[in-house]
Structure 1
Amino acid sequence: MPPRLAEIVDEFASAPRDVVLEMLLEYSDAVPPLPPGMTAEGMEQVVECQTPFFLHAEVGPGAAGGNIADEQVTVWFDCPPEAPTTRAFAGILAEGLSGATVRDVLAVPDDLYQRMGLAQAISPLRVRGGTAILARLKRQVREQIA
């Protein structure tokens, strides 16, 4: 797992339950805006989310001179501000995977949100949506390196 994402997971896992929701709300503000010209229309919708949520991952050249596993992954998310929990999942991934390589992204555990202790703080439906976001992100990366 990328070091910054591991730090975020540890912060959530060790936080008291009553603080976890506040922490989530802080990450809902960490979603960077889409670049000019990019819209949700060109992104993949994560239909498992209760709210309209779109993502796009792009594998670009890395610093390792041709090793595909070391190429950098850039991720964009589009989610309405009225869905702070879902935006928080995007914010956690945006911050935790900033500068991540293909190897880093594919190494993120599928049970990320359970490891963070979110299964005890939010509804199973929301955890399912977050898990689907991560699964779609990893799938997009795999498709691009195939």
Structure 2
Amino acid sequence: MSTAHVPDSLAEIRDTFLETPEADRLLLLLEFADELPPVSDEVAAHPEMYERVAECQSPVYIHLEIQDGIVTMHATAPAEAPTTRGFASILVQGITGLTPDEVLAIPSDYPQTIGLTRAVSPLRIGGMTGMLMRAKNQVMQKR
């Protein structure tokens, strides 16, 4: 498990999951699903700005902005896909407010480190990994 370069925001989320009894981690993920921040009016008005996350079975779209050296992540995920929505919410909450370098330093295996590999299918963990990789790619292209 790589802990190097995990930003505080994502480390805190990871630690919350790891401190939660394994049987309750899925409930915690569902709480995150309910907390997915709405996208800004500007992003909502321009759906062409979004990138589809092909690794997700559900239609998940992300868009990252860099303004004044700070990254903001936007994501949409359907309410009918609560685990996927939860993963999107973790990344939106964990990445928004970071610098581009901090985002690029997030270990690619972060989704495997939050204690959910036995609670959800590998396909869903792969979807979160896809979201993270696409987020990092967008930051690289925009910085």
The alignment's TM-score, normalised by the length of structure 2, stands at 0.89
- Distance in 2, matches of 1:41 and 1:79, equals 16
Cα drift, residue 98 of structure 1? 2.9
Cα drift, residue 5 of structure 1? 1.2
SS at match of 1:119: coil
Q: 1:43-122 to 2 correspondence within 5 Å?
A: 43-61=50-68, 71-122=69-120
Asked whether the 8 Å contact 1:110–1:134 carries over to 2, the reply is: yes
- Distance in 2, matches of 1:110 and 1:82, equals 27
SS at match of 2:117: helix
Partner of 2:40: 35
- Distance in 2, matches of 1:42 and 1:72, equals 18
Partner of 1:68: none
Cα drift, residue 97 of structure 1? 2.1
- Distance in 1, matches of 2:16 and 2:42, equals 35
Question: What is the RMSD computed on CA atoms of the aligned residues?
Answer: 1.2
Cα drift, residue 8 of structure 1? 0.7
Cα drift, residue 116 of structure 1? 0.6
SS at match of 1:10: helix
Partner of 2:3: none
Which of 17, 23, 29 is equivalent to 2:22?
17
- Distance in 1, matches of 2:27 and 2:75, equals 21
For residues 15-73 of structure 1, what are the alpha-carbon distances to aligned partners after superposition, in whole Å with 9 as ceiling and x for unaligned? 22111100000000121112224234320000110100000011111xxxxxxxxx100
Structure number, greater radius of gyration: 1
SS at match of 2:38: coil
Q: 1:98 to 1:42 in 2, by over 3 A?
A: closer
SS at match of 1:38: helix
Q: Does 1:144 find its partner at 2:139?
A: no
Runs of 4+ in 1 over 2 A off after TM superposition: 37-42
Asked whether the 8 Å contact 1:30–1:94 carries over to 2, the reply is: no
Cα drift, residue 96 of structure 1? 1.6
Partner of 2:31: 26
